[in-house]
Copies of this chain bind each other. A is one copy, B any other.
Amino acid sequence: MSLALGVLISGRGSNLVAILDAIDRGSLDATLKVVASNKPNAAGLERAKERGLPTVYLDPKPFAQKPKPREAYDLAMGALLQQHGVEYVALAGYMRIVTPVLIQMYPSKIFNIHPSLLPAFPGLDAQRQALEWGAKVSGCTVHLVTEGVDEGPIIVQASVPILEGDTVESLSARILEKEHECYPQALQFMAQKRMYLEGRKVHILS
């Protein structure tokens, strides 16, 4: 089956591009239905437009007046995704915490990628956290989004060494290379219906 995918971004969308490249070369059976952003100038929107893909900027400001701004925003985002026929959602550098409203519209169908080997270094600035802790190995994690931040079931992880003299930038770049491999791979497991959940464990059938 082809995964009807929506991708949410806030910035350059390098993982979006990796997903698009994987679709183009046939290693990910997915159709990108829409790229949505909470930032008008996210460079990833341009990358998507260049490829003729539908893009949407959903401005958070009008929702700020409402009693539950984050939930109201996610309700609108969910409606937008559904209008575009999105069945699975990939967060790719999307700098908002997703509320239960959206998670319940797409239960176990929202993917995220995090630049550490979770459960180590959750939250912001994972690469900096790893360096400050003096870790010698880090990596990236693709997981399903649940209500606990960075706590959802893990689909794929890949490790990278931390080298003497590494900066946040050099480590981030090394991890990003792995992200670009892992994210399409994790989505492909779903597209091929090779993954299933048992509690919080993701089983991958060979």
- Could you tell me which A residues sit within 8 Å of B by CB distance? 117-121, 131-137, 139, 141, 153-159, 164, 199-206
Total identical chains? 2
Task: Give Cα A181 to B118, complex, Å.
Answer: 24
**Which residue in chain B gives the minimum CB-CB distance to A162?**
B157
Nearest CB on B from A38, distance (A): 29
Chain B residues with Cβ under 8 A from A133's Cβ?
119, 154, 200
Q: Pick the contact of A206: B132, B164, B201 (CB < 8 A).
A: B164
Asked whether A134 and B153 contact (CB < 8 A) given A159-B139, A164-B206, A203-B164, the answer is yes
Task: Give Cα A206 to B159, complex, Å.
Answer: 22
**Which residue in chain B gives the minimum CB-CB distance to A136?**
B157
Asked whether A117 and B119 contact (CB < 8 A) given A135-B157, A136-B156, the answer is no
Task: Give Cα A204 to B161, complex, Å.
Answer: 13
Task: Give Cα A133 to B141, complex, Å.
Answer: 13
**Which residue in chain B gives the minimum CB-CB distance to A158?**
B137
Nearest CB on B from A88, distance (A): 19
Chain B residues with Cβ under 8 A from A206's Cβ?
164
